[in-house]
A and B are shown apart, each in its own frame.
Chain A
Amino acid sequence: MVKLLKKIFLWDLIAGLKVTFRNQNPKYICTEQYPAERPRVAERYRGAPRLNINPDNGETLCISCNLCALACPEELIVVTSERNEQTKRKDLTTFTYDLSRCMFCGLCEDACPVDALELTQDFELATYTREGQIWDRQMLEEGPRPTRYKC
């Protein structure tokens, strides 16, 4: 009798749906609503490179020591500098970073003695041209500006 009633009222279906609805709990939803909601990457994430500037006077922290260019396995960093006769130091003139060849290994970041070069949490690096992947000093200091979408 019970068996028949269970069959009539589709008990198995209800029991199955119970499992389904239990998993509707927002805690179990893993879908990310990218690009409306941007994922949070780890603090140590190795993404777009950035050339840090001194926040007080806007001057670059880079001392043009060329260690990052030497550490890079792909030899994609080119640093040029000229000697400043007044301060007897090297002044950074250009700094190019070819992102199209970068594998984000982080060796340049490790090599930097003054924490000027850093791999940041920015991960949206698509461009329309190949040339756009070669970042100059200005681009490295400002960082990428991806379009922010609102949902």
Chain B
Amino acid sequence: MPDATFLDSTELVLNMGPQHPSTHGVLRVILKLDGEKVLGTDCVIGYLHRGVEKIGENRTYAQFNPYVDRMDYVAAVSNGLGYCLAVEKLLNVEAPPRAQAVRVILTELNRIASHLIWLGTHALDIGAVTPLFYCFREREEALKIFENYCGARLTTHAFRIGGLQYETYEGFEREVKAFCKMFGPKVDEYEELLTNNRIWIGRLKGVGVLSADECKEYGVTGPLLRAAGVKWDLRKAQPYSGYEKYDFEIPTRETGDTYDRYVVRMQEMRQAARIIEQAVENIPEGPIMGKVGKVIKPPVGEAYVSIEAPKGELGYYIVSDGSTQPYRVRVRPPSFVNLQALDRMVRGGLIADVVAVIGTLDIVLGEVDR
């Protein structure tokens, strides 16, 4: 027998992904392992790089609008809202009140749809299969509203620069109200399955802890930041699209572990339903399109607009050189920034925790790689 076998080596390098079902896309994580303990990770991204920012430089402002839907494809409406708000800031116009109200309704519906995907896939990674089917059942109702409103379920292209292209359809308000009424008890149903589940708590409590200071260091935003106890939500901090009119709370938790992030997102779904209920109660009458010409030609300048997307702060930085095409479009995607914290969250943990942490990060690789 030789003295040293491979079993004696302390470090094992293991590739997780890019074709691993629980990396939620084409993310490759190089894990350095000591037995089951994670010594360090290395993320390899770029498998889904499509050069969206560069495409933006070769398209007119209106033409680039459908492309932003394809970054975070489970929250396409939020992406569209951020882009439209950025160009509207460049043009110095504001969407009319009716358009703003409809935008809020659709964006919050999209937040629910995005969180439902997160909950379903996250629970599936941990080993609970049932919530996935329940989540997709309710998501279907939200997607039906999108389809009826703008004709597409996922890559919606719902908003246009300056307002909306489509007037709400007949029965829109009724369907949205029915969704809100139906949705509250459904969240209770998910919570019944998971919140006090011993396996769920055992797998999530104390896993992937990210303190408030660490969040700020990494620039992590969204539910991850709020789970660490920082009350930071752009809808409250710098309201856009009329969010100041609605009464809602920012759910926060203290420790910032995976379980807390679960609780925060569940609360966020309830709050989103609350915002929709308020918004749909009185959609103001009036035009749906602001004063924007057929050819969009913003003055020379630059604008940065950030919104609270389901996954965190989504920012668009657009530089205009006075022509019909943007000089530069830079996107600050929440998933990309949040993914940086992966190493800190899983270091010292077990390999099974990596799956839980990737799930809780709620990344969409289309947005990470752009």
| A residues with CB within 8 A of B | 30, 41-46, 71-73, 103-107, 110, 119
| B residues with CB within 8 A of A | 59, 62-67, 70, 137, 140, 144, 147-152, 155, 157, 165-166, 169
Nearest B residue (CB) for A44? B151
Which residues of chain B are near A41, meaning CB under 8 Å? 147
Q: Is the CB of A105 within 8 A of B157?
A: yes
Q: Is the CB of A44 within 8 A of B63?
A: no
Q: Is the CB of A44 within 8 A of B66?
A: no
Q: Is the CB of B66 within 8 A of A73?
A: yes
Determine how close the nearest CB of chain A comes to the CB of B142; give it in whole angstroms.
Answer: 14
CA of A71 to CA of B165, assembled, Å:
15
Which residues of chain B are near A44, meaning CB under 8 Å? 147-151, 166, 169
Which residues of chain A are near B157, meaning CB under 8 Å? 105-106
Which residues of chain A are near B137, meaning CB under 8 Å? 30
Q: Is the CB of B151 within 8 A of A42?
A: yes
Determine how close the nearest CB of chain A comes to the CB of B64; give it in whole angstroms.
Answer: 7
CA of A107 to CA of B38, assembled, Å:
49
Nearest A residue (CB) for B149? A44
Determine how close the nearest CB of chain A comes to the CB of B192; give it in whole angstroms.
Answer: 14
Q: 21 A–B contact pairs at CB < 8 A?
A: A41-B147, A43-B169, A44-B147, A44-B150, A44-B151, A44-B166, A45-B147, A45-B152, A46-B151, A71-B62, A73-B59, A73-B67, A103-B66, A103-B70, A103-B155, A105-B66, A106-B151, A106-B157, A106-B165, A110-B165, A119-B151
Contacts A43-B169, A44-B166, A44-B169 given; indicate if A107 touches B66 (C-beta within 8 A). yes
CA of A106 to CA of B151, assembled, Å:
9
Closest 4 pairs between A and B when the two form their complex, measured CB to CB: A105-B66, A73-B63, A44-B151, A46-B151
Determine how close the nearest CB of chain A comes to the CB of B26; give it in whole angstroms.
Answer: 20
Q: Is the CB of A42 within 8 A of B148?
A: yes
CA of A109 to CA of B67, assembled, Å:
17
Nearest B residue (CB) for A119? B151
Which residues of chain A are near B152, meaning CB under 8 Å? 45-46, 104
Q: Is the CB of B62 within 8 A of A107?
A: yes
CA of A46 to CA of B66, assembled, Å:
13
Determine how close the nearest CB of chain B comes to the CB of A125; give it in whole angstroms.
Answer: 15
Determine how close the nearest CB of chain A comes to the CB of B67; give it in whole angstroms.
Answer: 7
Determine how close the nearest CB of chain A comes to the CB of B171; give it in whole angstroms.
Answer: 11
Determine how close the nearest CB of chain B comes to the CB of A67; give it in whole angstroms.
Answer: 9
